[in-house]
């Protein structure tokens, strides 16, 4: 059994649906993200590396899918994906728009924006995290790569939501040091 999907192949099952893997978008500590196509709809697929997620992660992911997205700004997990020929599992989510840039690129001034758009992006981030918290959830892995901003309008997209947790539960991810709350 192979560990990861290959570009150009269809993956999935009759239960989860079939997705054509078009290209790899990136890779992180837990898995790789691909652009996939499902019946003419482009989506993103995150496939987890075997052994890189604890057993409770899949159950938490299933609960997040059932609960649904707190707002349209979250690129929220929509369906759990399995394939009989590939070890482990993944999930599909909306594909981020090319209009958006990474928060890191904004901070490095690789893209010009206005004060108004930057302020609106800050407001939108705060508002969307309030929506997340009001649903009894907490984002456990925020970093510069998981927030995307539209530099003209200040709209935001929040990615990598499989590490959201339900309030009162412990996260299986360590998080990014400069973004973690400190215990005093």
Q: How many CA atoms lie within 13 A of 130 on its CB side?
A: 6
**For residue 10, which of 102, 116, 81 has the smallest C-alpha distance?**
81
- Residues β-bridged to residue 101: 149
Here the tokens at position 16 are 């989860």
pLDDT per residue of the chain (184 residues) written in tens, 0 to 9? 789 999 999 998 877 789 999 999 999 888 999 999 998 999 999 999 998 888 888 999 999 999 999 999 999 999 999 998 888 899 999 999 999 999 888 888 888 899 999 999 999 999 999 999 999 999 887 788 889 999 999 999 999 899 898 987 776 655 555 555 545 4
* pLDDT reported for residue 184: 44
Backbone angles phi, psi at 143, to 5 degrees: -160, 180
Q: C-alpha dihedral over 121, 124, 130, 134, to 10 degrees?
A: -150
Q: Which domains does the chain have, with CATH numbers?
A: 10-94 (3.30.200.20), 101-179 (1.10.510.10)
* pLDDT reported for residue 172: 60
């Amino acid at each position: 059994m192979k560990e990861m999907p290959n570009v150009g192949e269809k993956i999935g099952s009759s239960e989860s649906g079939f997705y054509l893997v078009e290209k790899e978008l990136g890779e992180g500590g837990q898995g790789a993200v691909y652009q996939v196509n499902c019946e003419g709809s482009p989506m993103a697929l995150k496939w987890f590396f075997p052994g890189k997620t604890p057993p409770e992660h899949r159950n938490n992911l299933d609960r997040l899918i059932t609960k649904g997205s707190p707002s349209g700004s979250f690129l929220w997990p929509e369906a759990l994906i399995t394939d009989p020929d590939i070890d482990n599992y993944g999930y599909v989510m909306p594909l981020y728009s090319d209009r958006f840039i990474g928060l890191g690129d904004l901070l490095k001034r690789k893209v010009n924006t206005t004060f108004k758009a930057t302020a609106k992006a800050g407001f939108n981030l705060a508002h969307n995290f309030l929506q997340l918290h009001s649903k009894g959830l907490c984002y456990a892995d925020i970093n510069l790569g998981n927030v995307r901003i539209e530099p003209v309008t200040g709209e935001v997209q929040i990615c990598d939501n499989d590490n959201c947790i339900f309030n009162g539960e412990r996260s299986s991810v360590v998080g990014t040091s400069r973004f973690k709350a400190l215990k005093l």
